A and B are shown apart, each in its own frame.
Chain A
Amino acid sequence: MINKILIANRGEIAARVIRTCKKLGIETVAVYSEADQKAPFVSMADESFLLGPPRVQESYLDTEKIMPIAKKSGADAIHPGYGFLSENGSFAEMCEQAGIRFIGPSADVMEKMGSKIAAREAMEKAGVPVVPGTDGAVASSDEAIEIARDIGYPIMLKASAGGGGIGMQVVNTDQELIKAFESNSKRARTFFGDGAMFMEKKLDHARHIEIQLLADSHGNAIHLFERECSIQRRNQKVVEEAPSSFISDETRQRMGETAVKAAKALGYVSAGTIEFLVDEQENFYFLEMNTRIQVEHPVTEEITGLDIVEEQIRIAEGKELSIRQSDVKIDGHAIEVRIYAEDPETFFPSPGHISAFELPDGEHIRNEAAVTDGYDVTPYYDPMIGKLIVKGADRSEAISLLKEALLTYKVEGIKTNIPMLKTVADHEQFKNGNTTTAFVETYYLPMIQTN
């Protein structure tokens, strides 16, 4: 049994975890930085502790501050949310050593999946198809050019330790490759302390489709179907939906089975997600595995009726999964849009004071908000200030509801991407389900340039 959970995170996901804890009668402990004193998640928790200054190294990443608070407060588990310490193997180990359960997989699996190169190798071994590319790290730009001859342009250059689109670039020529190799390797070293780079064929017109997994410590693993997250800007997701309108039932089943097989081969425990790229012929290739809860988990919850945070907690308690694969059914269609504090045309951040804030309200409308009226959005963290999730009987009903909800979503004082989301929701190609990863460049950006 878990009686008290410390949430080592902030924003909407901290609030989301607290909500499930309340439902389960579990006490909650929030930790927060000076920049987040007025954040909703702080007052929602039963107890809250100040970590320190706003910068993440001195607050949400500072395990030397978080661990003593966990001990002092008597928390018997830590939920890491996403980002920050959620995929940090040594933090998971630190928790175990302190006798506090880390709500997530083992440090071992986490570290393996955290290295994109090691993850590729592990997946190939488990019989999961991977994107054509290098087996290991590429040592130099000279070697990169030789490999490029084999794979052929366009090529996606990636930092092994990268994340959030950092250290990642599409290249089309040798010259671009040389320049990008040096600069991204340098950036990856600065950001992640590891400059190792690898290369993959860039699949054109590909879709980003991922499988949600649940695996317990008794060897049971199931999938909760897929999410399609193709619409992205700066390699970060903006619109996510479930189910995908693109893949056939047969592909859906094969992807689910492949993901479950991979989870079992890895000895994975907890909720996790395997991301795939899917080409026009519905061939799917492993992209990466996220060993934590994902931002877009609500769309899966909406179509399956499950609470993924609750499942994570149950699994961490050592319980067996209460559901079998045959119990999981898709009901309706859900869409999530991420509300970012940013310029809707340049995607540049727009921190500042929110002078008015109003959320859409109604049946089948779900809000996961990180801010409130009068809140100051600081430049220290991710620009996401909330998520809007809608559900319909089918995709077109969900899109209609999304459009309606966006009309009443009010954020004043800062710039947000809401105008962009409205444009997407209204776009013929979006309605037709033509949601490839090139959507923003192909349809959105040319549209705003002509206006």
Chain B
Amino acid sequence: MTEIKASMAGNVWKITVDEGEKVESDQDVVILESMKMEIPIASETDGTVKELKVSEGDFVNEGDVIAVIE
């Protein structure tokens, strides 16, 4: 089980996967928006999205868990 964490503070602009969906390493899971820039957050491993911890529009701080991949 791996956690995907926010690399910086920002708003969750888009979630590009659903819970239960299979993802590959380097696949974008969430797109954060910070300081007028979009920052894609990718999964570091192959696996299945076990849980999404955020919703679109949420504010996250650096290090917050965005999703759990199993």
Interface residues of A (CB under 8 A from B): 55, 164, 234, 341-342, 348-352, 378-383
Residues A383 and B36 in contact, CB atoms below 8 Å apart: yes
Residue of B nearest to A83 (CB): B36
Residues in B with CB closer than 8 Å to A164 are 36
Q: Offer 27 A-B interface pairs, CB within 8 angstroms, sorted by A.
A: A55-B11, A164-B36, A341-B35, A342-B35, A348-B7, A348-B8, A348-B39, A349-B8, A349-B10, A349-B34, A349-B39, A350-B8, A351-B8, A351-B34, A351-B35, A378-B9, A379-B8, A379-B9, A379-B10, A379-B11, A379-B34, A379-B35, A380-B35, A381-B35, A382-B35, A383-B35, A383-B36
B1 at the interface (CB under 8 A from A): no
A-B contact count (CB 8 A): 37
Which residues does chain A contribute within 8 Å of B39, judged by CB atoms? 348-349
Interface size grouping (class) on chain B: 10 to 19
What residues on B are CB-neighbors of A55 within 8 Å? 11
- Across the interface, name the chain B residue whose C-beta is closest to A164: B36
Q: Which of B8, B9, B35, B39 has the most CB of A within 10 A?
A: B35
Q: In the assembled complex, how far is the CB of residue B2 from the closest CB belonging to chain A, in whole angstroms?
A: 22
Bound CA–CA A217/B19 (angstroms): 60
CB distance from A73 to the nearest CB of B (A): 29
In chain B, positions 1-38 with a C-beta closer than 8 Å to chain A are: 7-11, 34-37
Per-residue 0/1 for B27-58: is the Cβ within 8 Å of any A Cβ (1 yes, 0 no)?
A: 00000001111010000000000000000000
Closest to B33 in A: A379
Question: Within 8 Å CB of B7, what residues of A?
Answer: 348
Residue of B nearest to A166 (CB): B36
**Which residues of chain A come closer than 8 Å to B34, judged between CB atoms?**
349, 351, 379
- 4 closest Cβ contacts across the A-B interface? A349-B35, A379-B34, A383-B35, A349-B34
- How far is it, in angstroms, between the C-alpha of A383 and the C-alpha of B10 when the chains are bound? 12
Bound-state Cα–Cα, A245 to B8, Å: 39
Q: Which residues of A contact B9 (CB under 8 A)?
A: 351-352, 378-379
A349 to B7, CA, bound (A): 10
Min C-beta distance of B65 to chain A, whole Å: 18
Is the pair B8, A382 in contact by a Cβ cutoff of 8 Å? no
Known: A55-B11, A348-B39, A379-B35. 14 other contacts (CB 8 A): A234-B37, A341-B35, A349-B8, A349-B10, A349-B34, A349-B39, A351-B8, A352-B9, A379-B8, A379-B34, A380-B35, A381-B36, A382-B35, A383-B35
Closest to A349 in B: B35
